[in-house]
Structure 1
Amino acid sequence: MKTTAIVLAAGSGSRMKSSVRKQYMEIMGKPLLLYALEEFENSFIDEIILVLPAEDIQHIKENIIEPAGFSKIKALVSGGSTRYHSVRLGLEAASEDTEAVFIHDGARPFVSSDILERALDAVKEFGACVVGMPVKDTIKLSDENGFAKTTVDRARTWMIQTPQTFLYPEILDLYEELARRESELLDRGINITDDAMVMETLGKRKVKLVDGSYDNIKITTPDDIILAESIIKRKNQA
């Protein structure tokens, strides 16, 4: 099965409150983005599409991609105005003979070979899957005034991570349909927040939940940098 990874690194990272985009911030002496790219480079993945802000492409190519000697990066693609616009542009840049596509947030540095293998097995069997982990805390839904309204069954509640993995022709068609129906869906109050939701809203498959890892965190705030450093130190001591 030919596989493509789409690595999303086009976000602004506003919650990091830094003049440097979070995907380029150094963690333990290495740009955040490199961690995920190296994992995909060293895995069974056949090609990588990296989605970046347009103004950063040349800089990242010359200062991160080329020095690292990556051989699987097929294209550097300019991102869109939203996450799902960026995903669609990444999908359109993949090779036509791609069979399975792994859509991953570049701000998740600790994707692993085990996670990728589980996702591959699941997409072969079910056609669509996302990695995540069961929540550890009690989850409550609030009402419009901020009072607890409902307690969610924790046993059936997951924190969703990436990669989110799909059969390529199917998810490409769904993203193209999303582009055509974007205004209609927004008018109906449907705001697409991840790739699984595209399948859930427009597709005909159920999305299988697959174990990721509690280490597979997304770097969003300065506190996450501290947590990421502790994970790296633990991995280095293992």
Structure 2
Amino acid sequence: MKYYAIIVAGGSGSRMQNVVAKQFLLLDGKPILMHTLEAFAACPLQPELLLVLNIHQHQYWEELCRAHSFTIPHQLIKGGEQRFHSVKNGLKAIKGKGIVAVHDAVRPLVSLELILRSFEAAEAQGSAVAGIAPTDSVRRIGPDGKTEALNRNELLLIQTPQTFTTEILRKAYQQPFRNEFTDDASVAEYSGFTINIIEGTRENLKITYPEDLEIALLYKKKGS
């Protein structure tokens, strides 16, 4: 079986209050994106790495690779207008059948164990989407601005990797883009496919705000 990892790095990083896109910010002396690629490169299944990046950032990324002597093989692919289109561009680069994991570039602490479980579960069941149970109380905001409590035991916080057979993901991404397509699971589900959940990890956080970078560094030092 052939394995692939599409690393989606399209974010501008506006919420990080930084002119540098968040995937390029340094974590423990190295760009976040390099940590993410290293995590998948360490997988014994040897997935082919496809990095989807805004075309205007390709040269900058290549300069970073030279500056940090980063030599992990990966294919650089032009990003799209939305995450949906970026994943679709990544899929176009995959020939033949296999298992493909789609992962946020700014989740650099994804564990090898989670990556392996994701590939194995998707190969067995067609899909594998990482999720964790919320620990905070949760409320829904209605159209009138009023809120109502939800049962957190019935909710999941969804992460990446989100892993599928190439047949499922290709079919799902043939449909037109919709605003409610926030991840691959929502795209596949809208096409009628069942989404199988696997347990994610608390450490697999998505770096979105400045404090997330500090938390990620603490996790990384704890794990080293």
Tell me, yes or no, whether TM beats 0.5. yes
Q: CA 1:28 to 1:37, structure 2 compared with 1: closer, same or farther past 3 Å?
A: same
Amino acid across the alignment from 1:31: P
Residue 227 of structure 1 and its aligned partner are, at CA, apart by 0.8
Q: Give yes or no for contact 1:5–1:45 (8 Å, CA) kept in 2.
A: no
Match of 2:162 in 1: 164
Match of 2:145 in 1: 146
Moved over 4 A (4+): none
Residue 98 of structure 1 and its aligned partner are, at CA, apart by 4.0
Residue 231 of structure 1 and its aligned partner are, at CA, apart by 0.7
Residue 68 of structure 1 and its aligned partner are, at CA, apart by 1.5
Distance in structure 2 (CA, Å) of the matches to 1:102 and 1:46:
9
Amino acid across the alignment from 1:130: V
Please show how residues 1-150 of structure 1 align to structure 2 within 5 Å. 1-43=1-43, 44-64=45-65, 67-71=69-73, 73=74, 75-94=75-94, 96-149=95-148
Q: Give yes or no for contact 1:7–1:51 (8 Å, CA) kept in 2.
A: yes
Matched length:
222
Distance in structure 2 (CA, Å) of the matches to 1:119 and 1:16:
29
- Residue aligned with 1:234, SS: helix
Q: Give yes or no for contact 1:25–1:32 (8 Å, CA) kept in 2.
A: yes
Residue 148 of structure 1 and its aligned partner are, at CA, apart by 1.8
Structure 1 residue runs without a partner (length 5+): none
Residue 169 of structure 1 and its aligned partner are, at CA, apart by 2.1
Distance in structure 2 (CA, Å) of the matches to 1:114 and 1:195:
21
Q: For 1:34-93, what per-residue CA distance to the aligned partner results, in whole angstroms no more than 9, with x for missing partners?
A: 11100111112320000111011123124327821213x1x2011011110111001111
Amino acid across the alignment from 1:220: T
Query: Identity of paired residues, percent?
Result: 34
Q: For 1:20-41, what per-residue CA distance to the aligned partner results, in whole angstroms no more than 9, with x for missing partners?
A: 1110000121111111100111
Match of 1:221 in 2: 209
Q: For 1:177-221, what per-residue CA distance to the aligned partner results, in whole angstroms no more than 9, with x for missing partners?
A: x2xx33xxx4xxx52111000111013x21111011000000001
Q: Pick from 187, 201, 217: which aligns with 2:190?
A: 201
- Residue aligned with 2:143, SS: coil
- Residue aligned with 1:218, SS: coil
Q: Give yes or no for contact 2:128–2:197 (8 Å, CA) kept in 1.
A: yes
Q: Give yes or no for contact 2:137–2:152 (8 Å, CA) kept in 1.
A: yes
Amino acid across the alignment from 1:214: R
**Which structure carries more helix by proportion?**
1
Residue 170 of structure 1 and its aligned partner are, at CA, apart by 1.9
Let me know the Cα RMSD of the aligned residues. Answer: 1.6
Residue 97 of structure 1 and its aligned partner are, at CA, apart by 2.5
Distance in structure 2 (CA, Å) of the matches to 1:115 and 1:13:
26
Question: Under a length normalisation based on structure 2, what TM-score does the superposition of the two structures give?
Answer: 0.93
Distance in structure 1 (CA, Å) of the matches to 2:214 and 2:185:
29
Structure 2 residue runs without a partner (length 5+): none
Q: Give yes or no for contact 1:4–1:98 (8 Å, CA) kept in 2.
A: no
Residue 145 of structure 1 and its aligned partner are, at CA, apart by 3.5
Q: Give yes or no for contact 1:23–1:107 (8 Å, CA) kept in 2.
A: yes
Q: Give yes or no for contact 2:180–2:186 (8 Å, CA) kept in 1.
A: no
